[in-house]
Amino acid sequence: MKITNLLRTTKAKLGISLLAVALIAGVATQAQARTQYTDGGMGTSKTPVFNEFYDVPNGVGDEADFVRLKTKAGTNGDYISTLNDDCAVGDAFNVRTYIHNGADPEYNDTGEAIARNTVLAMNAELGDGKAFDFSSTISASNAASVSDSGTLQCQGNVRLKLVPKSVQAYSKPVGGFYALPDTSVNGTTQIGSRVAGDGNVYGCWDDRVIVVYEVVVEQIPEEPKAEFSCDLLEVLKLSDRTYKFTVKASATNTEITDYKFNVKGGGDFDLAQQGNVAVLTVEQAGDYTVRAQVVTADGTTEYNDACTKKVTAAEEPKVPTYSCDLLQYKHLGGRKYRFTTTASASGGATVKQYTYDFGQGEETVVVDRSQYDYEFKTEGDKTVRVAVDFNVGDNVETKSDADCVVTVPATTEQPPKELPKTGAGAVMGLFTAVTAAGTLVHRTATSRRG
């Protein structure tokens, strides 16, 4: 008992001396202290200090390098800080964190050497990449924190994933490996060396804790390809000049954001669009070609035959109009007259023939011309009518309007052979005669007043 106390006193004094030297040298924390391992050697610190030894046998080496990796099939001696591998799909790797409280175990009895509330934070750079970093930080409420990292370097881009339920901790006093939750990776977990998870890590070689988890290489799935197409352009004729177009389209792994319509033709037009529907109204008859495109977040479809339609706007339908507008006559002498009919026809209607009715006791004549000469059989006023037949499509329509009826004073009187002469001499003679007649009338009237 006295020897033990003396040993403790000597170690304590030695620890104080070493600490003083460290402070003089500018090394201010236990986390920065380094101690070489010797057979049977032990820590000299009275309080907890993590991973301070180097040259530790059995593949440990420098305890400060406590995050290491190996292939799953490798041995414990294969753990290294930086692992270069081809990283083929299906390859698995173990990531190890080594924890050792290097305090003098003789102070475990007093509790001074025990690291309290010990927490391990492990971070894994999972996901897609080529180089993956793994880091761990060991901390306690009564000890300085220490951190380290390791790297898996792959030859090409791969995806790295944590193997579920692969996180395990080992401690000899606990009796071997025990499971830790998956959330310990990229999270924190409390560890204990003699009671799993109680947060107490004792100062002793036998109380070292090792935490291991497994990661596996997966194939990076190809990004889903955006596919989109304009599948159909439907057309509905609303009238001779108005058409409705509806686009049918499909899109996978993208979203349709708009539709475009293109019109080519020989006349003016209006295009009203609402989403995938457009209404085309053309001003003139002719052929019009309408093409549609689909616009997505990933691009625009090309024009294709399925979304191209040609429409033909017909001429406005013609409405046939026809009428008998006027019947005129000219006295040719005696009882002979020339009759002329004016008729109008449009919109596809045409004149077929004229039927002249020259009145009671006279003739009814059908001719294919608008002018006809007729000599009445008897004298007296005659009512003459003309009816005009029109071809209207496949039908014949007859018009005999009020303007196509005249009354003719049939007589044997001869019409004047010629009009009065209108030359300069004739005009002067006429002026002289009129003047003389006027003078005579004036004189007569004057004498009567007298």
Helix, strand counts (H, E) of the chain: 2, 28
Secondary structure string (H, E, C) spanning 5-55: HHHHHHHHHHHHHHHHHHHHHCCCCHHHCCEECCCCCCCCECCCCECCEEC
Residue by residue, DSSP assigns 339-355 as EEEEEEEETT-EEEEEE
> Looking at residue 396, what is its pLDDT?
92
Q: pLDDT tens digits, residue range 272-322? A: 999 999 999 998 888 999 999 999 999 999 999 999 999 998 877 778 899
d(CA 88, CA 67): 23
Half-sphere exposure at residue 296, Cβ-oriented, CA atoms within 13 angstroms: 19
**DSSP conformation class of 403:** G
| Element at 268 (helix H, strand E) | none
125 neighbors 133 (Cβ within 8 angstroms) = yes
Tokens encoding 118: 């010990």
What would the two tokens of residue 375 be? Answer: 């000599």
- pLDDT, tens digit (0-9, with 9 covering 90-100), for 386-435: 999 999 988 999 998 888 999 988 765 555 454 444 444 444 444 444 44
| Confidence at residue 262, expressed as pLDDT on a 0 to 100 scale | 94
Residue 267: per-residue pLDDT: 76
State how far the Cα of 199 lies from the Cα of 336, in Å rounded to an integer. Answer: 142
What parts of the chain have a pLDDT lower than 50? Answer: 1-33, 416, 418-437, 439-450
Helix (H, G, I), strand (E, B) or coil at 436: helix
Q: What is the pLDDT of residue 409?
A: 84
Query: For the whole model, what pTM was predicted?
Result: 0.51
pLDDT reported for residue 429: 47
Which neighbouring-strand residues pair with 375? 336
- Give the C-alpha separation, 116 to 120, whole Å: 12
